[in-house]
Amino acid sequence: MQQKAMAKADCYIKAFDEPCRTKINKTAINTNPPRQPCLNFMKIMQKDAEDRQMKRLARVTKATALKDKGNEAYTKEDYETAVKYYSDGLAEVRDMQPLYTNRAQAYIKLGRYKEAISDCEWALKCNERCIKAYVHMGKAYLGLKKYNEARNSFEKMQEIEPWREKMVKEYLHLVHMEENRESQEMTAWQELNKGERKCAAVPQLLEQLSRPSQMALYYCGGFEILSQAVNECTGQTLFRLNNGFSIVSSNDTVRSCLLQNTNDPESQELCVSVLKLWRIICLENDENQKMLMTCPVTRQSIVQLVISDHVAVKRECLELIGLYSKTSHGRRLAIENLNLHNLVRNLMVCISEPKHEQETTASCILENFATEKRFCIQLRNVLTDSVIVPLTKMLTNFGKSHQHIPPSLISALGSLVRDDVIRENVALNEECWKAFMAAVRLCSASKHKETLYLFLGLIINLSTVTSPVIQEHAVLLCDCCIGLLKDADGGIITRATGVLSVILPQSSEAVQHVIQGKVIRTMCRLLKRNGQAATKYAIKTLAVCTAASDLAREELLKSDKKLSILRHLLSSSCDEMVSGNAALCLAHCFELDGVATCLLGTDIVLLLLRHAAGDAERTTVQQNAAIALGKLCRSEPRHLDRLRELHGIEILHSCAKLIS
């Protein structure tokens, strides 16, 4: 219609005798416009803006209230109602991002994935960096089995916030699991339809095992045959697709033996067969692991069977839990579904039985679970009952019977105390320290090097916590370590030195004790050897001792008159801790008469100056080196001449502000 009208107007214009033009200019300019109407217009505009702001604020308040109602309905799993409240909120405010992401989450629960994706796209229009939108979009694409799109959504999260790498990896693993599950199930059905004999045996066996009220040996034999049929991916998948988990767990005879309601030999054999079957069908199969952990019978029985009196049952149970502990996915499933308090307590019981082969398996399980932050967080509240009490009892019993303390026990505990809260709780427990010292003495006397080595590492880790309990036992701990410094094993010597380096700063009494024990000479010998860890520990120990006592400084000078060891560390070490402590030791020694004079003609000024003017990030090293230079020049003014030759005064001035 517009085009027709324009064409018609062109025809009219062409029909005129002359071009259409304005012959008289009637434009009038008002040189003195009234001010009052303009002011009224501005007031009207301002009032309109305020009215709009008030109305929007009222709509936002109403939309927020509807969002809260939707969240409440979502918590109650009433997803339809939640969607209605979120939609009513969006009717009030169309650009409220949380309403879109919350409604998308509810749509996912209802299986309405396309609508969820649409809401996520609208949320991203409101906020292009919205992480929740990408999370829900990835889940919705996963529900639609669009795996590449799901991956792209999850990976976008890491692009926006790189520190979410661990969470993104978990979501990508979820996509991988779903893709694998679909592929496995498709392959399994295809092979079953082809009439493969081994594949057809799985549903037939499950049908026979679903018969109720049979003898325990009947089911035991069936599970043994079934275990051979499901030892591959296709068999594992067919077991799941044919409702195998429910058939096994719903059987009254099987449930009775798993819950240890019967203790006859046939029931014990049946229990072993079931656990073995579960382990085989879950081996490298994430979906089956997930299905097994959702069975109530599994959650009830698996923790208690860890301490079964029947050795074969205990072994199979630990092997099954060990299977879960080897992967992040398996650990997460176990943490979410099992009673961790009872599990850890029962694992500690297994570890305390060194005569049985399950000791190592139980320790490995505990070590693996300790790598999960969620596991440690849940364990914090029950640490005393689950770990500390059985641990101290265990170590005390070993000491009384002079049995060998299993290395796996100390290794597992070492993994647990990596958690800050658990480490602090153990470090503040007096009974633990008494047990540790008794265990160190036992290991030293019985020459169990591996266990002693692990124990010393554990003590080093725990001693990083400042504790009155450590201060109380510092002298006895140092006394044990002084004896170990004569050991033939270099690793034991290094770790004993490490214990001294962390214990001595907490106790002046212990410092005096080790100085009387001639530890300074031993530290000097260690510093002459090549070994980064030993050097760190030894120089720190020297720094603590020389700071506290003139006797320690004199002992150091007797061992090394020219302080060549400390000078060598300053010239060769790139480690900040080593360089800083070496400079600190020198500063302490310069307080003795004649030391600075003995160093005339050496490179001491140059070495200290290099560190004082060194890397700006190594402020501790700079400070210690500058202090040492000051003490050196004050004790022997001739060193000041050398400092001026090297333009050291200017260098020190330039870095003084940085150090302060």
Concatenate the DSSP letters of all residues of 214-256 into one string: --HHHHHHHHHHHHHHTSSHHHHHHHHHTTHHHHHHT-HHHHH
Question: What's the rounded Cα separation, in Å, for the pair 655 and 650?
Answer: 9
Residues 223 and 154 both lie in one domain: no
The answer to whether residue 497 is domain-embedded is no
H or E stretch at 303? helix 296-304
Residues 85 and 210 both lie in one domain: no
State which residues form the domain around 260. 196-338
Question: What's the rounded Cα separation, in Å, for the pair 623 and 608?
Answer: 10
Whether 249 contacts 295, CB under 8 Å: yes
Question: What's the rounded Cα separation, in Å, for the pair 572 and 319?
Answer: 50
Q: Among candidates 340, 343, 344, which has minimal Cα distance to 387?
A: 344
Q: Among candidates 366, 496, 481, which has minimal Cα distance to 422?
A: 366
Around 104, how many Cα atoms within 13 Å sit in the side-chain half-sphere? Answer: 26
H or E stretch at 206? helix 197-209
Buried b (16+ CB within 10 A) or exposed e, 376-408: beebeeebeebbbbbbbebbeebbeeeeebbbb
Task: Please state the three-class secondary structure of 361-414 as a single string.
Answer: HHHHHHHHHHCCHHHHHHHHCCHHHHHHHHHHHHHHHHHHHCCCCCHHHHHHHH
Residues 584 and 647 both lie in one domain: yes
Structure tokens at 523: 């530290």
Q: Among candidates 637, 636, 608, which has minimal Cα distance to 623?
A: 608
- What one-letter code names the amino acid at 133? A
Ranges of the chain with pLDDT below 70: 16-26, 30, 33-40, 195-197, 354-357, 399-403, 530, 615-618, 655-660
Q: Which residues contact 394 (CB under 8 A, 6 or more apart)?
A: 348, 351, 352, 409
Residues 266 and 319 both lie in one domain: yes
Structure tokens at 590: 């310069």
Residues 201 and 278 both lie in one domain: yes
Termini Cα distance of the chain: 82
Domain containing residue 127: CATH number: 1.25.40.10
Q: How many residues comprise the chain?
A: 660
Buried b (16+ CB within 10 A) or exposed e, 181-211: beebbeebeebbeeeeeebebbbebbeebee
The answer to whether residue 41 is domain-embedded is no
Question: What's the rounded Cα separation, in Å, for the pair 138 and 131?
Answer: 11
Rg (CA), the chain: 38
Last residue of a domain, one of 338, 357, 378: 338
Domain containing residue 334: CATH number: 1.25.10.10
Structure tokens at 275: 């656990």
Buried b (16+ CB within 10 A) or exposed e, 302-322: bbbbbbbebeebbbbbbbbbb
3-state secondary structure of 328: helix
Q: Say how far residue 191 (Cα) sits from the centre of its chain.
A: 42
Q: Among candidates 322, 445, 335, 337, which has minimal Cα distance to 379?
A: 335
- What one-letter code names the amino acid at 400? K
Q: Among candidates 187, 177, 284, which has minimal Cα distance to 231?
A: 284
Q: Among candidates 131, 151, 134, which has minimal Cα distance to 142?
A: 151
Concatenate the DSSP letters of all residues of 440-471 into one string: HHHHHHHT-HHHHHHHHHHHHHHTTS--HHHH
The answer to whether residue 191 is domain-embedded is no
The answer to whether residue 424 is domain-embedded is no
Structure tokens at 328: 């992040």
Last residue of a domain, one of 181, 208, 243: 181
The answer to whether residue 70 is domain-embedded is yes
Question: What's the rounded Cα separation, in Å, for the pair 427 and 389?
Answer: 14
Give the dihedral sign, CA 9/12/14/18.
negative
Residues 222 and 125 both lie in one domain: no
Instruction: Note the pLDDT of residue 571.
Output: 84
The answer to whether residue 302 is domain-embedded is yes
627-631 LR contacts (CB < 8 Å, sep 24+): 627/583, 627/584, 627/587, 628/583, 628/584, 628/586, 628/587, 628/590, 629/605, 631/587, 631/590, 631/591, 631/596
Question: What's the rounded Cα separation, in Å, for the pair 660 and 657?
Answer: 5
Residues 116 and 81 both lie in one domain: yes
Greatest pairwise CA separation for the chain in angstroms: 128
Residues 100 and 206 both lie in one domain: no
The answer to whether residue 150 is domain-embedded is yes
Residues 144 and 172 both lie in one domain: yes
Residues 226 and 328 both lie in one domain: yes
Q: Which residues contact 141 (CB under 8 A, 6 or more apart)?
A: 113, 117, 147, 149, 150, 153
Query: What total of structural domains would you count in the chain?
Result: 3
3-state secondary structure of 23: coil
10 Å CB burial of residue 639 (0-12, 13-18, 19+) is buried
**At which residue do the structure tokens 């002046």 appear?**
508
The answer to whether residue 539 is domain-embedded is no
Characterise 213 by phi-psi region: left (phi > 0), alpha (psi -120 to 50), beta (else). Answer: left
Residues 221 and 160 both lie in one domain: no
H or E stretch at 539? helix 532-548
Kindly report the number of other CB atoms within 10 A of residue 631's CB atom. 18
Q: Among candidates 81, 101, 99, 80, which has minimal Cα distance to 91?
A: 99
Whether 503 contacts 540, CB under 8 Å: no
Question: What's the rounded Cα separation, in Å, for the pair 90 and 593?
Answer: 83
Whether 358 contacts 319, CB under 8 Å: no
Last residue of a domain, one of 338, 361, 390: 338
Residues 170 and 201 both lie in one domain: no
Question: What's the rounded Cα separation, in Å, for the pair 381 and 422?
Answer: 9
